[in-house]
Amino acid sequence: MARHIYYCPMRWADLDLFGHVNNVTYVDYMQEARVDMFRAHPPTDGNDRLAEGVVVVRNEVEFLKPMRFRRDPLRIELWVTEVRAATFTLEYEMVDVRGEDRTVFSTARSVLVPYVFEREAPRRLSSFERSILDSLRDEGAA
């Protein structure tokens, strides 16, 4: 499957004193793209359990170029890179694509764990959830 693409609008509140998108905001953008991927545009019906019971246990962000405010939404591409028994990993690129030109502002990675909030405990992925996540891999990604 190809990468999931989310177009994130920028807000004036996202900027820091120097007119750049604040580094904390990148994690907000990642969350918005993740929610879009699993809740707004899920890859298949019946994945509500995964969408509603997942927590982030690690975020890594690499800032490659300063991002400034723009009227056009930011393009965020995300895909699954690893599926284990009780975790899965998403990777992200925050990019600007104009014709043949592609500018990558940031790359990032999130490790997520399925979670049962009633018990306040992690759980293992079901085989159905694993198949959903496997369908979201981008085999062409580096």
* Structure confidence by residue, pLDDT tens digits, 18-31: 989 999 999 999 99
- With beta carbons less than 8 A apart as the criterion, state whether 122 and 114 touch: yes
Q: Give the number of other CB atoms < 10 A from CB of residue 126.
A: 12
Does pLDDT of 142 surpass 60? no
- Cα(1)–Cα(101) distance, rounded to whole angstroms? 23
Q: What is the pLDDT of residue 86?
A: 95
Q: What is the pLDDT of residue 71?
A: 87
- Domains of the chain with CATH codes: 4-122+131-135 (3.10.129.10)
pTM of the predicted model, to two decimals? 0.88
Condensed to tens digits (0 to 9), the pLDDT of residues 83-140 reads: 999 999 999 999 998 888 999 999 999 999 999 988 999 999 999 889 889 888 886 6
